[in-house]
Structures are given as C-alpha cells and as structure tokens.
Structure 1
C-alpha cells in the first residue's frame, strides 16, 4: 500500500522545487512531515547535462531534503501541454499519494514549462476529487493548493521563515552541478550558470527582510484565508 503524503510538490523539471521551496521542504521533513516531489519531465531538452545525470542529481538532492518519495512522469520536456492525457497522469499521481497539501509553480514565469505545469496541476487537483473521473481510482480531496516561485517573484500571499534551514537549501541546489555550474568544456552559458544560486539567495533574503528575518520563501494561493479575529501577535 502506498504511503499517504502530507505534502506533494510538482515541478516541470528536477531542481524546480528546490529553487522555489527547498528550505520549506527541509523544515517540514525535519518536523516529521512526509513530503514527496513529482517531476513531470526528465528535462531532456536542457542545454546542459544529460537525462541520466539529472536523475542522479535529483536523487542526491532528495536525500538532502529528506523526501519520502520522488517520482518522474516522463512527460515530454517542452511538450507540457494542457491535454486530457497529461491531466490524467498527474491526477493519478495525486490519487496515488493522497496528499493533504499540493504545491505547484507560480502561474507566471519566464519558462513556459513552469506555467504549463502550474495549470496542469491545478486541473489535476480539481479532477482528483471527482468520483466519476477515472472511477477505478478512489477520489482524493486536496485541502490546499499553493504556488511557489522559480524564476520570477510574483504576488506573495504568505511566506515561511527558512533561516535555520537555508544551508540545506543551498546544499540541495549544489547537487545540480550540471545546471548551476559549467562543469565541462562544452557547457553552454544559460541564466542558470551565471550566478543563479546567488540570485536565489538574494531573493530569499530580500523577501525575509519584510518581516526582519534572514531568509524566507514566498508562496501564493488562489483561495482566501479564514480568520477568527485579527491579532498582531
């Protein structure tokens, strides 16, 4: 029987979730939450690295993060279109692990695959609860769907203090040497190889400054929050 997850995070490529929320992941796994990542593609169109190397890097990063599982749906890189077939595969993954909370990339980003992943996951979360959709699989009601930021910081509705876990975030990102460093003579210069990790660090530091904390990761939601009373404490 598949273990139920507290949190399931979707990314178009291995390293997406680490860029956006590795600190939050480690904060939760360290507290005993069961967390998993599903990468939609094998990133076969990446300018640097190979599919095999990216898989090894993701496995190493998963150990740093303390994940319960990591899967890859092997959908086509640069072919993440909102089709019934792709929605069905993601819905099946949600039903397999029955997470309480799902994360997806923010709906605006410079990379079209990140935008497509965001939309696909939103569609799948909705379909997962429909008992007449794929009726051979039990329906799953996801409590919350949150969006994390990769390349572009958008509207931040909430943020998590990850100061105590930021070293682990940098360790997880450093697992992806093929993406963030020019590791061989044929490496191609991309936005990721030109000080990208340093810019992520600066972004997370600047966001934390809003609440006078060293590092924070931001998230967006499309659902309003319910409060009993407004309290500044």
Structure 2
C-alpha cells in the first residue's frame, strides 16, 4: 500500500483539527480515504494537562476519527514563527506523506499560534513543489489547500455536510478531557467553559445555511473548480 495520504491536516496543537473539522475528517476516513494529522507542537504551554496527557488524548482521538497517521513536529508552543527552519520541517513532512489535499487553520484567529501555523503551512505548501528546494527529497505538488476555522468563524467558501459523522467529532473532542472538562486541578480557560457546546452550535448554524443539521465550513484562496454546474 502506498504511504501517500489523500488528505493531510495541520494544526498548531492537538485538538485544533478536531475542533475545526473533526466530522469532515471522520467522514472522509470512513469512506476509505487515507487521512492524517500533523500537530506542530506538543502544546507544552497549555494551562491544563501535561505533554504526556495531551499525547494520550491525541492518540485516542486519532483512533476515533480513523486516521491513517498522526505526527507531531515538536516545534515550540507559543514560539511558532515564520522561520526557514520551521518551514523546512513542515515542507519535508508534506513531501514525506505526499497528500493531494492539505488543510491549515484560517489565517485569522484569536490564538496567535493558529495564525502562525496558517502562514507556515502556506509557505511549506509552496516550497514543497519546488524542484530545487531541498533537492534530496522529491517535490510534491499539493492539488488544493483549504483553511478551517478554530475559534473565530468567517465567511466560508464551501461547507461539508457532516450530519452523519458528527457523533465522531464529539467523541474525538471528548477525548481531550484535560482541555474541555473541569476538574480538581484545572484552571478556568475558554476551552472548559462550554466551548464544545459552542462549537456544536456553530456547526449547526453553518448547516442551517443549506438546511442540513451539521456542517463544517472551509475557505480556499483559489477559485473552486467544477467541471460543470449540475
């Protein structure tokens, strides 16, 4: 079996991809596509949980979603910046997995790491196709780069009907108990103050635009291509 992926999703932290497009991931994985997630950091600056706990939660979520692979580049949490070293690490990850489609966080968000991640992925997707960039590895021409929303939602270019796969998204988010559930040793953060419920309400509202129960929205910087209008 080929090691190449159909879809590769990048996030700054484990749980970013699940928040933004967990049901879309589950839907495509269940259909037989090879889907992977690459987290850029171990979220070591999180107010709740530990690196080891976050790793365990990410692995549990990966199984729920049906991922082919999940990796972590170990870049510094709250230290993401547009440096050549970080761009190269991400570029090589793209070349390793040869995805047809890449997803990145939308470039506007309340969390600076999500913004930085978005810009890093855009740079890496561009570099991945250049024959003379890191010539020891083969170039990869990603067919499409899409952006997903995490904390802040803007106007979507397209949406995916995820009604049938939405339970998998909620189950994957529930795997991150250290982030979304309050406990004796936790401190209050936006994530454990009804955040998952607000994400669900957001996805219901997105679906309402096309009279479906749940939808996840995405943005493309390139015009969407169709063969014809049906």
The two structures share one fold, judged by TM-score above 0.5: yes
Partner of 2:198: 199
Shift in Å, 1:228 = 4.8
Q: What residue ranges of structure 2 are gaps of 5+ in the alignment?
A: none
Using the alignment, how far apart are the partners of 1:2 and 1:78 within structure 2?
35
| Other structure's SS at 1:187 match | coil
Partner of 2:103: 103
Runs of 4+ with >6 A deviation: none
Using the alignment, how far apart are the partners of 1:52 and 1:226 within structure 2?
42
Partner of 2:151: 151
Using the alignment, how far apart are the partners of 1:227 and 1:38 within structure 2?
29
| 1:113-192 to 2 correspondences below 5 Å | 113-183=113-183, 185-192=184-191
Instruction: Please state if 1:37 is matched with 2:37.
Output: yes
| Other structure's SS at 1:36 match | strand
Q: TM (normalized to structure 1)?
A: 0.97
What is the number of residues matched between the two proteins?
230
Q: Map Cα deviations across residues 44-97 of structure 1 (whole Å, 9 max, x no partner).
A: 000000000000000000000000100000000000000000000000000000
Contact persistence 1:2–1:97 (CA under 8 A): no
| Other structure's SS at 1:79 match | coil
Using the alignment, how far apart are the partners of 1:101 and 1:226 within structure 2?
14
Using the alignment, how far apart are the partners of 1:182 and 1:127 within structure 2?
42
| Other structure's SS at 2:8 match | strand
Shift in Å, 1:131 = 0.6
Q: TM (normalized to structure 2)?
A: 0.98
Shift in Å, 1:225 = 1.9
Contact persistence 1:2–1:96 (CA under 8 A): no
| 1:72-87 to 2 correspondences below 5 Å | 72-87=72-87
Partner of 2:210: 211
Contact persistence 1:163–1:214 (CA under 8 A): yes
The alignment's C-alpha RMSD in Å is 1.1
Contact persistence 1:101–1:145 (CA under 8 A): yes
